[in-house]
Every structure is written in structure tokens, then in C-alpha cells.
Amino acid sequence: MDTALEPLHERQNGAGSLLLAQGAFWLQGSVVFRNPDGSRGENFLGALRIPYEPGSTPRVLEGNVADGMFVEHKGLVYHADASLGRHLAVYEPNGDLHQLVDVTGGDSDIFMLTGLSVADGMAVVTSPSCTHVFFIDTQSWEVRYLNTAAQYAGGTTRTLFHEDSVYCMGNAHIFKIDPATATVQDFWTDPDLANGIQSESSYSHLANTSQGLMTWITSPRAGVAPLRILDPDTLALSDYDDPGVTILAGYYVPIEDAYYISDAGLHRYQVATKELERVLPEQRPWGGRWDFETILQMDDDYYYWVEGWVSESGQQSEFIVRYPRNP
């Protein structure tokens, strides 16, 4: 059994994404700090910055306390509140609060923020299914707002800056938006949803790959490839490839032009060559059941993610774990 998989910190009642940036882990939850000898130490609750150096003390971040996405851009870390606070918090590399933006202005109809993306001069965040899209000027912190009138379709929602547009992937909706004017340029809605049928589509992620804008379906219909190409002009979707594994989560790494796909283990999928290789064994060095919980992060030496764990006696917890890139 491979014993290179190493737990670093225990997280209980956690949610949201894991980010490795500025020498630290950024995440949300109730995290049990591990002492240098491996014993359980102090418990930290909230949005957290955990320095990478062993033995460093976690810091509870001011501003947002709820779960939500963390994104790093040019040295600052952005955190969208995916609960009732409806704020965008921006942090300095050391965890000091740089800016706290009231995104929704107290609108009670908007119940969470997700799909955070950041580019030069602008951050964009959306409510689920792209129903409301917000554009935040990262110099003046002025907020502009677009109501797309999209029907809530569940699932995950993500956004992507591409050329002069923002693409919002809202499960059964795809919107192409002009961020300069906060107006919809084009949109696609799953025909089933438009006809009042529960949509089976789940287009929630988009990456700018060597082969074009690529997305995937978690549960594709028969005859439809899980990996698909989105035409940026017409929003037409075409089949690209079936990698041969179920895509539960994926993380695109531009410098490698590769997706890291999690199913029972972890695989690297080379976009241009369509080659798939396993990079993480299915077996774990501990008993119980393990489940991949967050998107992958990596540095030159290790992969990092959060795994859910259920012991043989039914005890549940989560751990930030790492696995060497060249075991």
C-alpha cells in the first residue's frame, strides 16, 4: 500500500474551496491544528489562513466567516461569501483585510455568492445558476449588477474571463456577458429545462485550453462525450473526448495543458494528446472510506486537497492532505 499520502490538518464541518497561495492554505471550516508531534492541538473556526510552514499558527480571517471560493490575483486573495453575508473580502498576503465589499446591498433575494473570477481591474461573482451577476471594480470597489432572469437549476456555478467577455456556466445555463456594460451578449439554456423538464446537463466549469474553451458534463447522456468544446461566439457545444473515467471534479493547469480529474483516485488528462494517467492510487494508508472533497492545488513538490474520511466505526472528519508529485 502506498504510504506517501500524508494528512496535514484536520477540518471538521468545512465547506468551500481550498487555495494554496502566498505561502499558506486558505480555506473555511473548523480546523484542528496539529502539533509538531502529531497530536491534536487548538481548534480554529471560520475563514482561515494556515501558513504552509510546519508548526505555524492558523489565523482566523476578518470579514467573511462563511464558506466560499478563494481566488488569488496579483498578490491579493479574494473570498466570496457563499452564505448570508453576501460580501467579497479581499486579503493581503499575510491575511490582513484589504477590502470588504457589500456586493448585494442587502438584497434578501440573493442568498449566496459563488463563481468568483478575478482579472486586472475587475472581479466577477454570481449567484447560483447565473441568476444574478456582479461586477466589482477592484480600484474603486464600485459594484454593478446584472439580473439575467435565469431559472435556478441547482448544481455548481463558475465564471471565466475570456478575451472581452465573461462566461457564466450555471449548470443548465451558459451566459456570454460584456463586463464593460454588464449586459448579456448571448445565452444558452438546456432545452429540457426550457420545456419544464429537470435538466440532466451540468455545465459548471470552463477552461481556456489549447483546444479551445472546454467544459465537461458530470452525467452525460448516452452518445455524448463528457469533455466538450464551447464555441465562444455561438455557444454551440461539440464533443471532444471521453477520458474513460467519471469526472467528479476537475482542475485545469494551464502550464501543463492538463486536467486533473478525480474519481476513485486522481488522474492527469493531457488535453492535446487525450492521454490519461493515474497519479494517485485508490488505496489509502488509513482504514475507513476517503472521498475527494475540493479542487486540487499544487506546488513544485506536492499535490494538495481536502479529503472526507469516514472511519470503520462511522466517525466523520476531513483532512488537508498532500501527495508527492514524484513519489
DSSP 8-state assignment for residue 139: T
pLDDT tens-digit map of 121-160: 999 999 888 999 999 999 999 999 999 988 887 778 899 9
The rounded distance, in Å, linking the Cα atoms of 135 and 133 is 7
Q: Report whether pLDDT(172) > 90.
A: no
CA dihedral 190, 192, 197, 201 (to 10 degrees): -50
CA distance 6 to 125: 34
Q: What is the pLDDT of residues 204-242, one digit of tens each?
A: 789 999 999 999 887 667 678 889 999 999 999 999 999
Which one-letter amino acid corresponds to residue 316? Q
More confident residue, 90 or 43: 90
pTM above 0.85, yes or no: yes
Query: With 50 as the cut, is the pLDDT of residue 1 above it?
Result: no
Residue 273 has pLDDT above 50, yes or no: yes
Q: Over 70: is that where the pLDDT of 311 sits?
A: no
pLDDT of residue 64: 59
Going through 97-164 in order, the beta strands assigned E by DSSP cover 97-102, 114-119, 122-126, 132-137, 143-147, 158-162
Which pLDDT belongs to residue 13? 58
- Quick: pLDDT tens for 72-130: 999 999 998 766 557 899 999 999 999 999 898 767 677 678 889 999 999 999 988 89
Least-confidence region, from 26-35, 43-52, 146-155, 263-272: 26-35
Instruction: Name the pLDDT band for 275 (thresholds 50, 70, 90).
Output: very high
* Segment (H or E) for 248: none
63 pLDDT more than 90: no
pLDDT of residue 178: 97
Mean pLDDT is highest, among 46-50, 125-129, 163-167, 246-250, for 163-167
Per residue in 12-30, pLDDT (tens digit) is 655 557 889 998 988 877 7
| pLDDT(292) > 70 | no
Give the C-alpha separation, 179 to 184, whole Å. 9
